[in-house]
């Protein structure tokens, strides 16, 4: 049963569990660990358990950010648990509720199929229940078991498993624990988490790291911890701004001076003498001390001030704040507290405290507050600085200042953020600028690595360095995320490279780009152009505009307004655009030419994306495309043919949806053995595709609404998903689908379909909507994985064979039938 209080408070996680299995052991440890991370869990201990789930729990499930289902061997023995689960899964389906799973000493397949001891327990619980209730419970168990989660059998210890679960939950929440305290929003939660790490009752000497980006509040948190009343320590010392105090040069006297500074402060003796680097150990080895080493940017500082735990007496605590996690790791500090960004609600509160001297938004300022907080991306320092600058101002002044904020970086913020950039190596600075100016929108790690593969940047190590220095972070979905203030810093650095835009490395501002392209002022300095045409007037690109950009690697011309913006589609271009020899990305939405220039030679191209183009043909002949991984020509309505792709041997994704003039695929696709995804939805003139080939990597094919297509796609034996609805395909050859052992989804319903004699064994969904078939093959009886069977508007369908013994299949069938039919 759920883990939460009878009065529903603000909380993050609703946990559904069977108390006797987990409450005293695993769950209590999980709850304690959640508390150390500031993750609030709903508790239901005071809710009376009756025969039905209480309204308080329905409310709690609905209000939670995440539902965590802890499945154990006796979970299905409780109708209460099963009702909870059914409600959780209903919320997942209707409102997108995040649901996470833990399989604690129970096999996921036993839950999914309700088999074995788990299944026996479930059947006992179902005795005397209505069929509707049984089916609802069974579907909920099957659906929740299909959600990938942590399995206790896969972990050597519960502690490690709990730690990973907390990380996963935190990533899902994407927030810092709720905060509400004087002076700094959420300080109390920070202190609670840190006190747990500090373990003040232990006599061991401990070093703790506080890690996070500049401006997030590390120093404030450390200072507040330092000021907490405590009789535990004989001496305390807060060494602030060590980055500014100590410059690493290996000089022995400098090291002695740093030790002297610490000892003079902690012992309150300005006359203390230090003659050797054993002085700290000499004075403090038998003293219980609290030392804060703030803003450490060099490992040498830690070696000088806290090289060994033995330098300090039992129970001592050394706390280090830094933007660079690698420094902590290199010094052997394993207990690291990560200071994350506040939630949106907390960010608004921080801004309001600075701007209005209160936690609430002043009437009429709601939208402006949200815009400012959004621009600051919830960085506490940014919120405080911007909020202070707007204090006492009118709405008109806010709007005027917001316009300035959006185009420039407040110098107080820049002074803080610029320090981290300046201390990067040249290559890491270059990688930072690539991300800040071009690959900044939740960029996939693998895509970024591929795009920069042939540069002189070590992307793997560089990303690690930027993460360690809090300049980027990786999301739960392996996306690179950079704070908007850091993006602005990077862009300002690029602007400072030259007063002439054409001589900078990256161009982002639309006016700068249009001037460069119209006046032919681009140079070999340019690496990337990211051109949002949303608010641009029509203009012409001059003849030879790209001729001088011999180093250009990334060209993106797009519109955030998408298809609705006419300016992009009317952008005029000369037919003789000069070739860009180093281009790796060409992304040009609404490309206006009928074909690419004849001088275009894309041997280094990794991605070609020309959505909504005016193209009729890409090029003549065979082009060298060995580096090409993705070709996206979606919505190129006039495209009549695809070029010979025989040399695109590394192509992984081919997107041709709504290319409504396309008649056939070239036979050269037989060479695309790395192709994973082929989408040709709504290619309404497509008639022919190559057959009897085996693209071994191809898993997903979408040919829905290819209304002239007559040939069944026999192009891979490893198909997992085929969508080919509303086509002219009449027959599904058993000789073809009989080899599709990995197929899970078969969506082939159309009025033309008359014959289906075989269905792959592993299929979970069979969609025959609107088909003209008269019978479903007998083999369907043995499809143990089948969940969805859709036969809506199959007016010629006669009897239906015996179905697999799954209530989901019967329910799916009954809901899709247009008139009642008997099925065994």
Reference 239, options 214, 224, 216, 258; nearest CA is 258
Say if residue 793's pLDDT is above 70: yes
**788 - beta bridge partners?**
765
Residue 373 tokens, joined: 């907080």
- Contact assessment for residue 125 and residue 76, using Cβ atoms and an 8 Å cutoff: yes
Tell me the average pLDDT across 329-352: 91
Question: Which structural domain range is residue 447 located in?
Answer: 414-493
CA distances from 282 to 117, 151, 216, 279, 313 (A): 64, 50, 36, 5, 11
Tell me the average pLDDT across 192-206: 90
289: helix, coil or strand? strand
Residue 798 lies in a domain: no
How far, in whole angstroms, is CA 418 from its chain's centroid?
26
Tell me the average pLDDT across 303-313: 95
Return d(Cα 83, Cα 812) in angstroms, integer. Answer: 21
Tell me the average pLDDT across 733-741: 92
The predicted-structure confidence for 518-539, as pLDDT tens digits, reads as follows 899 999 999 999 998 866 777 7
The predicted-structure confidence for 668-725, as pLDDT tens digits, reads as follows 999 999 999 999 999 999 998 988 889 999 999 999 999 999 989 899 999 999 999 9
Predicted confidence at residue 818, as pLDDT, reads 46
Residue 772 lies in a domain: no
Predicted confidence at residue 800, as pLDDT, reads 84
Within 440-570, residue ranges assigned H as helices are 445-451, 459-468, 484-495, 510-519, 566-569
Q: What letter does residue 178 receive in the DSSP assignment?
A: P
Pick from 214-228, 235-249, 584-598 the range whose average pLDDT is largest.
584-598
Tell me the average pLDDT across 589-618: 91
> Does the annotation count 188 as an active-site position?
no
**529 - beta bridge partners?**
507, 555
Reference 18, options 68, 70, 61, 53; nearest CA is 70
Higher-pLDDT residue of 542 and 643 is 643
Q: What letter does residue 782 receive in the DSSP assignment?
A: G
Predicted confidence at residue 9, as pLDDT, reads 36
Say if residue 430's pLDDT is above 90: yes
Return d(Cα 640, Cα 616) in angstroms, integer. Answer: 5
Predicted confidence at residue 77, as pLDDT, reads 92
In this structure, of 113-127, 155-169, 672-686, the range with the lowest mean pLDDT score is 155-169
* Res. 816 pLDDT band, cuts 50 70 90: low
Pick from 174-188, 304-318, 347-361 the range whose average pLDDT is largest.
304-318
Report the domain count for the chain: 4
Return d(Cα 705, Cα 720) in angstroms, integer. Answer: 19
Predicted confidence at residue 372, as pLDDT, reads 83
Predicted confidence at residue 319, as pLDDT, reads 97
CA dihedral 140, 141, 142, 144 (to 10 degrees): 80
Residue 566 lies in a domain: no
Cβ neighbours, 10 Å, residue 616: 14
Q: What is the chain's Cα-based Rg?
A: 32
Whether 313 and 392 map to the same domain: the answer is no
Q: What letter does residue 361 receive in the DSSP assignment?
A: P
Which residue shows structure tokens 């011309």? 557
Q: Which residues of 586-604 are buried (b: 16+ CB within 10 A; e: fewer)?
A: bbbbbbebebbbeebbbeb
Say if residue 4's pLDDT is above 80: no
- Backbone dihedral region of 770: left (phi > 0), alpha (psi from -120 to 50 degrees) or beta? left
Predicted confidence at residue 7, as pLDDT, reads 33
Whether 143 and 27 map to the same domain: the answer is yes
Tell me the average pLDDT across 245-252: 70
479: helix, coil or strand? strand
- Backbone dihedral region of 293: left (phi > 0), alpha (psi from -120 to 50 degrees) or beta? beta
Q: Which residues of 182-198 are buried (b: 16+ CB within 10 A; e: fewer)?
A: eebbbbbbbbebbebbb
Say if residue 489's pLDDT is above 70: yes
Whether 47 and 133 map to the same domain: the answer is yes
End-to-end CA distance of the chain: 36
Residue 223 lies in a domain: yes
Whether 279 and 420 map to the same domain: the answer is no
In this structure, of 378-382, 607-611, 626-630, the range with the lowest mean pLDDT score is 378-382
- Which residues make Cβ contacts (< 8 Å) with residue 367, sequence separation at least 6? none
Read off the CATH number of the domain in which 211 is found.
3.40.50.300
Residue at which a domain ends, from 448, 470, 493: 493
Whether 225 and 161 map to the same domain: the answer is no
CA dihedral 229, 235, 238, 244 (to 10 degrees): 180
- Contact assessment for residue 330 and residue 355, using Cβ atoms and an 8 Å cutoff: no
Read off the CATH number of the domain in which 453 is found.
1.10.10.10
**Model confidence, pTM:** 0.62
Q: What is the largest CA-CA distance in the chain?
A: 101
Could you give the percent of the chain with pLDDT greater than 70?
Answer: 86
Residue 388 tokens, joined: 């202070």
* Res. 121 pLDDT band, cuts 50 70 90: very high
Read off the CATH number of the domain in which 132 is found.
3.40.50.10140
* Res. 292 pLDDT band, cuts 50 70 90: very high
Which residue shows structure tokens 């939660």? 189
Predicted confidence at residue 44, as pLDDT, reads 58
Reference 179, options 295, 67, 40, 29; nearest CA is 40
Residue at which a domain ends, from 437, 471, 493: 493
Whether 421 and 468 map to the same domain: the answer is yes
Whether 191 and 250 map to the same domain: the answer is yes
Residue at which a domain ends, from 472, 493, 514: 493
* Res. 786 pLDDT band, cuts 50 70 90: confident
Residue 770 lies in a domain: no
How many CA within 13 A on the CB side of residue 132?
0
Whether 113 and 32 map to the same domain: the answer is yes
E-state strands within 355-492: 443-444, 473-474, 479-481
Whether 41 and 100 map to the same domain: the answer is yes
Whether 48 and 143 map to the same domain: the answer is yes
Residue 302 tokens, joined: 């830690």
The predicted-structure confidence for 24-82, as pLDDT tens digits, reads as follows 678 888 887 776 555 778 765 444 444 445 566 777 888 788 899 999 999 999 888 99
Residue 789 lies in a domain: no
Residue 551 lies in a domain: no
Angle among Cα 242, 246, 250 to the nearest 5 degrees reads: 135
Return d(Cα 288, Cα 232) in angstroms, integer. Answer: 8
Return d(Cα 331, Cα 326) in angstroms, integer. Answer: 8
Whether 156 and 50 map to the same domain: the answer is yes
Whether 313 and 208 map to the same domain: the answer is yes
Return d(Cα 377, Cα 804) in angstroms, integer. Answer: 52
Which residue shows structure tokens 């859709």? 790
- Contact assessment for residue 178 and residue 346, using Cβ atoms and an 8 Å cutoff: yes
The predicted-structure confidence for 352-368, as pLDDT tens digits, reads as follows 988 888 888 888 898 88
Say if residue 496's pLDDT is above 90: yes
Question: What does pLDDT average to over the chain?
Answer: 85
Residue 46 lies in a domain: yes
Predicted confidence at residue 481, as pLDDT, reads 82
Choice among 56, 63, 84, 616 that is catalytic = 84
* Res. 417 pLDDT band, cuts 50 70 90: low
Q: What letter does residue 588 receive in the DSSP assignment?
A: E
């Amino acid at each position: 049963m759920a883990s939460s209080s009878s009065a529903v408070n603000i909380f993050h996680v609703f946990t559904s569990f069977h108390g006797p299995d987990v409450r005293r052991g695993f769950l209590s440890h999980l709850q304690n660990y959640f508390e150390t991370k500031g993750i609030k869990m709903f508790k239901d201990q005071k809710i009376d358990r009756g025969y039905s789930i209480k309204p308080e729990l329905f409310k709690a499930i609905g209000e939670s950010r995440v539902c965590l289902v802890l499945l154990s061997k006796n979970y299905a023995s409780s109708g209460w648990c099963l009702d909870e689960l059914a409600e959780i899964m209903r919320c997942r389906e209707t409102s997108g509720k995040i649901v996470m799973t833990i399989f604690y000493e129970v096999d996921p397949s036993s839950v999914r199929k309700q088999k074995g001891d788990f299944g026996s327990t479930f059947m006992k619980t179902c005795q005397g229940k209505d069929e509707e209730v049984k089916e609802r419970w069974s579907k909920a168990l099957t659906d929740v078991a299909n959600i990938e989660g942590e399995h206790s059998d896969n972990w050597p210890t519960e502690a490690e498993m709990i730690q990973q679960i907390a990380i996963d939950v935190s990533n899902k929440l994407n927030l810092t624990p709720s905060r509400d305290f004087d002076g700094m929003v959420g300080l109390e939660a920070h202190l609670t988490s840190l006190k747990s790490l500090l373990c003040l009752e232990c006599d061991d000497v401990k070093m703790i790291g506080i890690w996070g980006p500049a401006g997030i509040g590390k120093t404030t948190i450390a200072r507040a911890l330092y000021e907490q009343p405590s009789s535990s320590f004989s001496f305390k010392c807060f060494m602030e701004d060590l980055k500014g105090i100590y410059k690493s040069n290996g000089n022995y006297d400098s090291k002695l001076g740093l030790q002297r500074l610490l000892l003079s402060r902690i012992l309150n003796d300005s006359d203390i003498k230090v003659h050797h680097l054993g002085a700290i150990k000499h004075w403090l080895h038998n003293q219980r001390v609290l030392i804060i080493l703030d803003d450490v940017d060099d490992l040498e500082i830690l070696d000088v001030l806290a090289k060994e735990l033995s330098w300090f007496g039992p129970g001592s605590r050394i706390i280090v704040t830094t933007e660079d996690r690698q420094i902590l790791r290199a010094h052997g500090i394993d207990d690291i507290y990560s200071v994350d960004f506040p939630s949106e609600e907390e960010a608004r509160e921080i801004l309001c405290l600075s701007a209005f001297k209160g936690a609430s938004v002043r009437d009429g300022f709601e939208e402006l507050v949200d815009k400012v907080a959004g621009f600051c991306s919830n960085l506490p320092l940014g919120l405080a600085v911007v909020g202070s600058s707007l204090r006492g101002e009118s709405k008109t002044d806010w709007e005027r200042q917001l316009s300035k904020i959006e185009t420039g970086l407040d110098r107080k913020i820049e002074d803080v953020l610029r320090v981290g950039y300046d201390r990067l190596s040249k290559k890491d600075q270059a990688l930072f600028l690539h991300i800040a100016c071009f690959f900044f929108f939740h960029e996939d790690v693998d895509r970024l690595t591929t795009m920069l593969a042939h540069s002189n940047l070590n992307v793997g190590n560089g990303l690690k360095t930027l993460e360690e220095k809090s300049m980027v972070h990786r999301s739960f979905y392996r996306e690179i995320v950079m704070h908007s203030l850091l993006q602005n810093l990077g862009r300002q650095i690029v602007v400072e490279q030259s007063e002439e835009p054409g001589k900078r490395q990256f161009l982002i501002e639309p006016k700068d780009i249009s001037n460069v392209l119209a006046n032919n002022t681009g140079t070999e300095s340019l690496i990337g152009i990211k051109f949002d045409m949303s608010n641009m007037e029509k203009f012409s690109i001059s003849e030879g505009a790209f001729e001088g950009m011999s180093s250009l690697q990334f060209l993106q011309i797009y519109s955030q307004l998408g298809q609705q913006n006419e300016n992009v589609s009317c952008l005029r271009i000369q037919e003789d655009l000069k070739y860009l020899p180093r281009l790796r990305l060409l992304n040009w939405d609404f490309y206006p030419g009928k074909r690419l220039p004849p001088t275009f030679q894309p041997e280094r191209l990794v991605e070609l994306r020309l959505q909504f183009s005016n193209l009729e043909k890409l090029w003549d002949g065979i082009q060298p495309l060995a580096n090409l991984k993705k070709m996206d020509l979606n919505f190129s309505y006039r495209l009549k043919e695809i070029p010979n792709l025989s040399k695109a041997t590394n192509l992984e994704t081919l997107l041709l949806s709504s290319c409504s003039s396309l008649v056939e695929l070239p036979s050269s696709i037989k060479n695309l053995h790395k192709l994973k995804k082929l989408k040709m939805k709504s290619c309404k003139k497509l008639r022919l595709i190559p057959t009897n080939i085996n693209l071994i990597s191809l898993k997903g094919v979408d040919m829905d609404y290819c209304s002239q297509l007559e040939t069944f796609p026999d192009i891979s034996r490893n198909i997992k998903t085929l969508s080919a609805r509303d086509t002219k395909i009449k027959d599904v050859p058993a000789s073809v689908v009989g080899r599709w052992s990995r197929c899970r989804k078969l969506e082939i319903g159309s009025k033309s379909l008359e014959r289906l004699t075989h269905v792959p064994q592993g299929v979970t969904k069979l969609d025959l909507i609107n088909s003209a078939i008269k019978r479903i093959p007998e083999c369907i009886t043995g499809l143990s994985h089948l969940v969805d069977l859709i036969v809506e508007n199959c007016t010629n369908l006669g009897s239906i064979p015996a179905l697999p013994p799954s209530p989901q299949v019967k329910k799916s069938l009954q809901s899709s039938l247009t008139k009642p039919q008997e099925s065994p």
